[in-house]
Amino acid sequence: MNCPLFVESNHTANYKAFRPDYPQELYKKILEFYFNTTNINLNDDDKKIPLALDVACGSGQATVDLSYYCHRVIGIDGSQNQLKNATLKQNIEYQCHNAENITFLPPNSIDLITVATALHWFNIQTFFEQVNRILKPNSGVLSIWSLGFPLLDNPKAIEVQHKFSHCDLDGYWSDKIQLLTDHYESILDTFPYQETRIKHVIEYEREMSILQFVNMIETWSACQTYRERHGQDKLKQLLKTLADNLAKCYTESSNDISSNKDGDAIYDKKMIVKWIIHLHLMKKQ
């Protein structure tokens, strides 16, 4: 992947710190599909995938998780700064490559290819051609998943987030985001290995403070575009307004948050954030 929205050093550090992880259930579904079973123990060392390739790995959120379930993982990303922030492990190898340029891998060499909420940034046809070249026949698995907009546990907070995402950031989203928001449904017919393709829908929750949530929001591509057009100070003010509005939703008082005697402590209030993952699995025949 070669997306300029995710390459600056400050942003990549925030990406590593604040992007959400993925639930174990997701990896369980991948292993069950690979081993053709419905009874996988994630701690079973005899049920590990030999070699996985995590494409557009960023700072390694999914790559590190995969390292527990695979003997070896290669994580690639088009941003060297992302890779500089990646977590190192003995069985992980990181390389700087775009999704469309993985010719460094020999044909029929990879057991599992994963794409975690990144396919929409690719030249998809070219990527799938590379997938077909490097996946092992009769066993190689392609796993693609999408993470939709977060869902909050407070009706007023839901309205605040919706306004921020669809009004304040209107005009700052790439057209490619539409593919993500519909969970790639509009392009499923372009996916390879159609005769084997299955889908799982996985819901999971995380407890986050308001500050942690807003820090995560700052890593969104639309926020990076907003910053490029208006500068860091304007983006910070926009995000502070979001934090203030969310804080009001989780407190009894509707007074201006800036006058709250606890100051920044108000942003430590906890919220339950839910995501819905659409996981697409397919096997090369």
- The predicted pLDDT at position 252 comes to 60
Confidence of residue 264 (pLDDT cuts 50, 70, 90): low
Query: What is the percent of the chain where pLDDT is above 90?
Result: 79
Q: Where are the domains of the chain?
A: 4-151+176-205+275-283
Q: Could you give the angle at which helices 210-218 and 232-249 cross, rounded to 10 degrees? A: 150
Confidence of residue 46 (pLDDT cuts 50, 70, 90): confident
Architecture of domain 4-151+176-205+275-283: 3-Layer(aba) Sandwich (3.40)
Note the pLDDT tens digit of each residue in 80-89: 988 988 999 9
Cα 157 to the center of its chain, rounded Å: 22
Note the pLDDT tens digit of each residue in 221-258: 999 999 999 999 999 999 999 999 999 999 864 444 44
Asked if residue 284 lies in contact with residue 192, where contact means CB atoms within 8 angstroms, the answer is yes
Q: Is 89 helix (H, G, I), strand (E, B) or coil?
A: coil
Give the Cβ contact number of residue 236 at 10 Å.
12
Lowest mean pLDDT across 176-180, 183-187, 196-200, 253-257: 253-257
Asked if residue 27 has pLDDT above 80, the reply is yes
Confidence of residue 14 (pLDDT cuts 50, 70, 90): low
Look at the block and give the residue holding tokens 């907009």. Answer: 149
Alpha-carbon span 86 to 17, nearest angstrom: 11
E strands within the chain? 49-55, 70-77, 92-96, 112-116, 141-147, 151-152, 198-209, 270-283
Burial of 10 (0-12, 13-18, 19+ CB in 10 A): exposed
Asked if residue 139 lies in contact with residue 282, where contact means CB atoms within 8 angstroms, the answer is no
